[in-house]
Structure 1
């Protein structure tokens, strides 16, 4: 088959024919072999086409993290449509907005979720996990290489998310050009660690299924517990792991205290956020840099997940604080330009533009924004090329390597997700009591970046801040919610009347007016043990109040702050808890249960 004709579905079906009886999906106690997965996806495709889905139509996915997720995703593509991933953990208003933005008329879901779409005008199409999946697919014809495969939304500076349009060929060539480096095959076991609404999942999903490998779908509680994740990776024999730098730091802390090593792991791919190579010193000291191999891959949704490749070795530890991103993929070109759009001189930092085969079609329904971000550049041959303006600052080194320096605008990364502060500010301005809002990212240490909202209001801070927390919890995904609110009577301005962000320092526990409310807006009564643990967390994390069910790491906890918390909890209660217990018990309530159990064994503990 000519390369231009290959699609994700044609390649997947070739794998089904080669490895019909190999396990394709592991999700808890569920296993699906390739032939069975294909048949069940065919049934979804048939139901979609019979219910009126047309070629390239956007079809929403609203599915739990189980085998149904793989069946539904494949079914949408087999129907010739494009999938629009919805995360069930996102607020309802955001899900409703995404459906409206894409114009999706169908949503692939499970019976337990179908009622959520009653009266929405969106038709639920149910994923079947039974024998009816024997039916062949029904479609007007296989999708073409230039047909839309998915639309994933990223944060938008105007206050609204924007949907990035990616075609089949964009994903296919990603694996064509990276395969020589990694040698993925049917023996690999991949972990689906990330949300299906985060484009890192595209690499994880197809990295397994385009080569006959096995995809292990990680339950969310496991993904949030480094110790549980470490154990599941070991038990499942995962060979390819994909992590943001902050998530890997937590896993590395769990690995340091683990009794059994991850012997099957052969490669760790970093992406989604800045990687400080110095943070890998402990891991490399234990494992070396050859097994598993460590690879940093800078990427962006608009260039189809990954845009560069950079092996990380022990030699890189001599330059802590540096984030090398390496060389562009073979079918991409890096253009480092100054503010006037001209190539910078050697050794001078500039903004990165990307051109080549991975660049997205554009933003769905956002013609002007597409023109603004996807621009025409002169290429090295004297012609013109279409390039994506990333907004990232990089430095090209003499040997062709590149170093990531940061952003040219206010965009930040929180746990690998792109966050435009303007989108968060737009939500806060919905509150009638707020006349102005500025959201800034503050770093409180390694792997600890938090959003802090500065709002202008005459309202009592103790009343307003929890109210804003509830507003954010109802409209924004977890990673976009501010960690704290600072209520002010005004904002500092520069001489030309703009907000002077340099004069807005990071708030401390003493200056923050109030914490974010719990997602349901309630605050359960704390037991004595929970109260004492919460006070320790407040001191360690520098936050004024902690909810009983709030995750330690969601509050900005890192491996270093975890160690401090570990020492203080054992000192406070006279217990001898192992640090792996603290990693697994990530909320005040869970940790209090572990402490009480330890104190029951040793009643003399304070």
Structure 2
């Protein structure tokens, strides 16, 4: 889809494009050192340059050029960076489709994006490429394939400009038609110029790239490392989700810099403490969700983190990765709400009379693709009338006595769920699309507020088949936005002021989760009883049966990593993540534990598993 950038003042100098910045002087910065360590082999300068050039050549043959978009769906291997760079070299913008996107949602995403081409690894092609002849970028079974698509506007003519889009990222996509944030080359360049104020990388560094390319933190992990001449290590998603395997990968690669969510940092630190350290990190950056200073203090006591500098940074996708950030000291870690730092160089911040944070500067995105109304509502003119814009973040902030910002909450119902931005109101509207439902309230619950629950009431209080509701929701929403529990109420609790009394909402029962009708069978053996207790503590539920599925009870990959740690502590044996994922019931995990303790279980390390997903 052709993207028309917003008008701003012209600049006299030559345009700074992201691919130009990255490729210029690349050989001088790296020499013969590795650019990126990947599970399927390392990338050096010559390989990266050749592969990205091949991808660009294939894409140009499909009509990709300035102002067009390319959908990317693939693996976290040695082709991912060349594909992204190859798209940029054509003058087009890339849009990464998350690997776990349901087919109906993926189709709606492509309807909005209208890409000129798709690049997908053969193992998981987008539905839009079915029946179309594509061209592989190299020999091999599992390599990217470039496929031309119909319906896109032709590439724009003329020379490239720093306002041209570099990438398009989906955000807050709970409605099934997510907002697509269009980020230009100028915005990315401004962020990469400003980021050293928080973390100044050096050629000696090894940067852990653990974020999906569908998240904008990947922009810093990969591109900042390239500009600094620092190697990065591309971490497959299944490794990133398992604290033990992540720890092993960080140790083996001698990674010195890691940026992650606070939730993942807590778990990595707990594992580090259990194994006595071994990491080489000099810098840890957290962001993407609210951090608790006291829990961060516990994490920083881990052996590998005791001498590590800790920074917290903040930024919506609309302001390009991060727009504030800075170090956290001991005083910060004694309070639950921690500073998100001052503004980065070049970023302007304003706080409205209601406490809402507005940000401005060259890091601002163009807006939302195909949604002029949402763009106008979120990107507003500066009050000084100089023609520039500010982005309304929706975050409420205050300024401390050191001039740093602290987040206090939201002006709307948006929340962070395991790194995803989520509009609870959109979840509620998706449930209310069922004509039998008259009322709905969505909320986060669970031990770490990481389980999405939808309370609902029906017309006439008629019972509904919740399995059918889930089928509809999976067709409308991304998987992370589908409620884990659907709790039907016959009476909505209200306060004396006729407002919803959330304190009186009942805790979900096992039957409120997608348990596929499994009976609640009680533990029968000592191992099952101990495993059952571990599940109860993790999930916050009492009536768990030994055949209920972990994910159906509100579990998720991060909680599965905590389950692994719990099994290790409780039984003295440690399963790999894939071994747990294959046995996510109390019965089957207990059988695995018994087999390991008896010495009858085969050793499966997963060492032959490479890659991962974008």
TM, length-normalised to structure 2: 0.82
Could you list the per-position Cα deviations for residues 277-305 of structure 1 after superposition, in whole angstroms to 9, with x for gaps in the alignment?
11122233345977321110011100001
Residue matched to 2:423: 420
Which among 291, 294, 312 is matched to residue 310 of structure 2?
A: 294
In 1, are the aligned partners of 2:277 and 2:302 still within 8 Å (CA)? no
Could you list the per-position Cα deviations for residues 30-74 of structure 1 after superposition, in whole angstroms to 9, with x for gaps in the alignment?
222122111111111111111111312111001112122212111
Residue matched to 2:399: 396
For 1:33 and 1:168, the matched residues in 2 are separated by 24
**How many matched pairs?**
569
In 2, are the aligned partners of 1:190 and 1:204 still within 8 Å (CA)? yes
Check if 1:358 corresponds to 2:363. Answer: yes
For 1:227 and 1:313, the matched residues in 2 are separated by 27
Q: Which of the pair has the greater relative contact order for Cα pairs under 8 Å at 6+ separation?
A: 2
Q: Which moved more, 1:531-540 or 1:303-312?
A: 531-540
Which among 348, 370, 381 is matched to residue 333 of structure 1?
A: 348
With over 3 angstroms needed to count, the CA separation of the structure-2 counterparts of 1:581 and 1:25, relative to structure 1, is: closer
Check if 1:542 corresponds to 2:540. Answer: yes
Check if 1:183 corresponds to 2:200. Answer: yes
Residue matched to 1:267: 283
Unaligned runs of 5+ in 2: 1-10, 145-154, 601-614
In 1, are the aligned partners of 2:241 and 2:561 still within 8 Å (CA)? no
Could you list the per-position Cα deviations for residues 397-430 of structure 1 after superposition, in whole angstroms to 9, with x for gaps in the alignment?
2321111111111000011210011232233334
Which among 37, 44, 54 is matched to residue 43 of structure 1?
A: 54
Which among 84, 104, 116 is matched to residue 93 of structure 1?
A: 104
Deviation, structure 1 residue 99: 0.7
With over 3 angstroms needed to count, the CA separation of the structure-2 counterparts of 1:563 and 1:69, relative to structure 1, is: closer
SS at match of 2:402: coil
**Mapping 1:87-126, distance limit 5 Å:** 87-114=98-125, 116-118=127-129, 124=134, 126=136
Could you list the per-position Cα deviations for residues 504-541 of structure 1 after superposition, in whole angstroms to 9, with x for gaps in the alignment?
6453244x6421357xx999999967965663355212
In 2, are the aligned partners of 1:352 and 1:393 still within 8 Å (CA)? yes
In 2, are the aligned partners of 1:80 and 1:142 still within 8 Å (CA)? no
Which among 321, 327, 334 is matched to residue 311 of structure 1?
A: 327
Residue matched to 1:429: 432
Residue matched to 1:507: 506
With over 3 angstroms needed to count, the CA separation of the structure-2 counterparts of 1:524 and 1:210, relative to structure 1, is: farther
With over 3 angstroms needed to count, the CA separation of the structure-2 counterparts of 1:528 and 1:242, relative to structure 1, is: farther
**Mapping 1:28-177, distance limit 5 Å:** 28-114=39-125, 116-118=127-129, 124=134, 126-128=136-138, 143-156=160-173, 160-177=177-194
For 2:476 and 2:522, the matched residues in 1 are separated by 27
For 1:483 and 1:111, the matched residues in 2 are separated by 31
SS at match of 1:203: helix
For 1:37 and 1:555, the matched residues in 2 are separated by 32
For 1:22 and 1:47, the matched residues in 2 are separated by 28
Unaligned runs of 5+ in 1: 340-349
With over 3 angstroms needed to count, the CA separation of the structure-2 counterparts of 1:167 and 1:161, relative to structure 1, is: same
Check if 1:198 corresponds to 2:215. Answer: yes
TM, length-normalised to structure 1: 0.83
Which among 228, 249, 261 is matched to residue 245 of structure 2?
A: 228
RMSD (Å), alpha carbons: 3.8
**Mapping 1:213-252, distance limit 5 Å:** 213-252=230-269
SS at match of 2:42: strand
